[in-house]
Amino acid sequence: MDNSESWPGVGFTVKRSWLIAVPVVLGTGLAVWAGLQVWRNRPAAQVPITPVVTEIKAISALGRLEPRGEVYTLSAPSSIEGNRVAELRVREGDVVTAGQILAALDTATTRQAELAEAQGQLAIAEATLAQVKAGAKAGDLQAQRAAIARLEAELRIAQTNLNRNRQLFEEGAISATQFDDARLQVDTLTEQLRQARATLVSLAEVRDVDVRLAEAEVRKAQAQVLRAKKNLDLTYVRAPLDGQVLKVHTKIGETVGDTGILDLGQTQRMDVVAEVYETDISRVRVGQRAVITAAAIPQPIQGTVSQVGLRIAKKDVLDTDPVAETDARVVEVKIQLDPAASRLVQNLTNMQVSVQIQPNS
């Protein structure tokens, strides 16, 4: 028995609706699926990429200006410390040359007298040597020959007298004492004649031992002159190099103290000593360029890093910032200024400057 219900005219309509809906749904699904595939396989959009540039910051530091080779403090020799300045031949700002006498101590006069005395002794020694080498004077030789001739004549007379007295003694006409006196006179004159002839030979002969002795005296006198010259030179203060007088510490009449007599520097070539923090020193290299500024310099000047220090020390350059790190640890970096920059600041030794070292230069 069939329990399904049927509606005349209606069943056909329902079946027909299903037949139409199914293809529509399938078509729509296929269209959506195809659209998704196309969207998934589309080429990726080109998004513009902006490169990120990392800015390399300059290394900042404080520094000071100083002559190349640093500042030289000239003083009196330690062996004569405490002497007074008797003469000052330069003033601050004067340009000097190596070897030039800059000042004289009050002991210079005494040392000059000692040198003159030593030179006099040398002159005497040299004259004595010349005399020894030349031998006796002609007048002395002539006088000695005359003495010999006189003795020879006296000896001949004495011998004649002795011969006569001998004959008289043998005849008993004179005593033995008289004969002995005549013989003694001959012996005496014979000895005197021998000595006179020996003296003549000695006068005419230049002995090597006398020459060597005279030469030794000359060498001794020369050594004394050399010592006197060195002692005199110690009383003068000379410039060790070409440069400029930066500061005079001791005036005429004042005793030389711990500060010395004057400061000297090669200001024709100036450098900057920058104190770079130890945290930045690894970025500093020889050859990097640097820009230097200061209130007293009308325009920025430039230079090149020439030396990186090997020792870490406390900050030394004066900083006016009240919150500055006065105990900061720094490394000294030397910067050679360009020639034009050196000329611009050659009269500003020890001036504080600001330094910007360019790591990428």
Asked if 218 and 276 sit in the same domain, the reply is no
Give the end of a domain, one of 209, 229, 249. Answer: 229
pLDDT band at 284 (very low <50, low <70, confident <90, very high): very high
Give the end of a domain, one of 210, 229, 248. Answer: 229
In a domain, 83, yes or no: no
pLDDT band at 318 (very low <50, low <70, confident <90, very high): low
Asked if 224 and 265 sit in the same domain, the reply is no
Query: What is the pTM (predicted TM-score) of this model?
Result: 0.55
In a domain, 1, yes or no: no
pLDDT band at 23 (very low <50, low <70, confident <90, very high): low
Confidence (pLDDT) at 89 = 94
Residue with tokens 């200006």: 65
In a domain, 95, yes or no: no
Contact 137, 120 (CB under 8 A): no
* Rounded mean pLDDT, 138-150: 84
pLDDT in tens, 146-192: 999 999 999 999 999 999 989 888 888 888 888 899 999 999 999 99
In a domain, 55, yes or no: no
Asked if 205 and 276 sit in the same domain, the reply is no
Asked if 272 and 223 sit in the same domain, the reply is no
In a domain, 134, yes or no: yes
In a domain, 69, yes or no: no
Classify the phi-psi angles of 226: left when phi > 0, otherwise alpha if psi is within -120 to 50, otherwise beta: alpha
Residues spanned by the domain of 185 = 116-229
Domain count, the chain: 3
Whether the predicted pLDDT of 206 surpasses 90: no
* Rounded mean pLDDT, 193-217: 83
CATH of the domain at 306: 2.40.30
Confidence (pLDDT) at 7 = 42
Backbone φ, ψ for residue 359 (5° rounding): -65, -30
Whether the predicted pLDDT of 321 surpasses 60: no
pLDDT in tens, 190-200: 999 999 998 88
Q: Closest by alpha carbon to 75, among 253, 264, 350, 244?
A: 264
Number of residues that this document lists for the chain = 361
Backbone φ, ψ for residue 96 (5° rounding): -125, 165
* Rounded mean pLDDT, 228-238: 93
Asked if 296 and 218 sit in the same domain, the reply is no
pLDDT in tens, 245-266: 999 999 999 988 888 999 999 8
| HEC readout, the chain | CCCCCCCCCCHHHHHHHHHHHHHHHHHHHHHHHHHHHHHHCCCCCCCCCCCCCCCCCCEEEEEEEEEEEEEEEECCCHHHCCCEEEEECCCCCCEECCCCEEEEECCHHHHHHHHHHHHHHHHHHHHHHHHHHHCCCHHHHHHHHHHHHHHHHHHHHHHHHHHHHHHHHHHCCCCHHHHHHHHHHHHHHHHHHHHHHHHHHHHHCCCHHHHHHHHHHHHHHHHHHHHHHHHHHCCEEECCCCEEEEEECCCCCCECCCCCCEEEEEEEEEEEEEEEECCCHHHCCCCCEEEEECCCCCCCEEEEEEEEEEEEEECCCCCCCCCCCCCCEEEEEEEEECHHHHHHHCCCCCCEEEEEECCCC
In a domain, 324, yes or no: yes
In a domain, 293, yes or no: yes
Confidence (pLDDT) at 323 = 44
Q: Report the percentage of the chain scoring pLDDT > 90.
A: 53
